[in-house]
Amino acid sequence: MGCCTGRCTLIFLCSLQLLAALERQIFDFLGFQWAPILGNFLQIIVVILGLFGTIQFRPRYIVVYTVWTALWVTWNVFIICFYLEVGGLSKETDLMTFNISMHRSWWREHGPGCIRRVVRPSAPGILEDYSYVSVTGCIIDFQYLEVIHSAIQILLSLIGFVYACYVISIFMEEEDSCRSK
């Protein structure tokens, strides 16, 4: 097989997906977003499986990658709907943290251009470590950064899905031609 084949392209796309998932995993860990952390972890495992299947000529592994890619697109569409508050979803709920904590997206307070101001409570009886965080001056709101991350994941996944189907068909043709000889 040549260098610019569907196989090489799928390896490149899986590598990009791996980098994008690792980047997203880091920022979800910083924001204690447990649901996305779990999804990103599964994405990383399955993309590595897809890479292995592509490199080692294992079409069954690529099929697993292809099925997961469809689920991953669905998850990212949900995240877009969640942050844009479509269909009764609210980004103010603790859904992404499994209702375990009050944490939100890391980008809420640390987005590009954001000025973060911590105000300590002055009323007696309020815990010392409790504070109100005021964020102003953000170039782009955090929900749009989350939507951009999900849109990039969807784009990479859809292209990866197409190339995975192509590579599976090529592998199956080669396997059939070997059997007929």
pLDDT tens column, 121-178:
666 655 555 556 778 888 998 899 999 999 999 999 999 999 999 999 998 887 766 6
Residue type, 43: Q
**Mean pLDDT of all residues in 42-67:** 96
Contacts of 165 (CB under 8 A, 6+ apart): 66
Residue type, 21: A
Cα 106 to Cα 8, 32, 127: the distances in Å are: 35, 8, 23
Question: What pLDDT, on the 0 to 100 scale, is given for residue 1?
Answer: 45
**Count of structural domains within the chain:** 1
Query: pTM here?
Result: 0.84
What residues make up the domain containing 48?
A: 1-85+111-119+133-180
Residues 17-28: tens digit of each pLDDT: 999 999 999 998
Q: Is the residue at 16 inside a domain?
A: yes
**Mean pLDDT of all residues in 47-52:** 96
Residue type, 39: G
**pLDDT of 102 strictly over 70:** no
Give CA torsion, residues 140, 145, 147, 152, to 10 deg: 130
Q: Is the residue at 61 inside a domain?
A: yes
Q: Is the residue at 34 inside a domain?
A: yes
Q: Is the residue at 166 inside a domain?
A: yes
H-helix segments, 31-105 = 34-55, 59-83
Q: Is the residue at 160 inside a domain?
A: yes
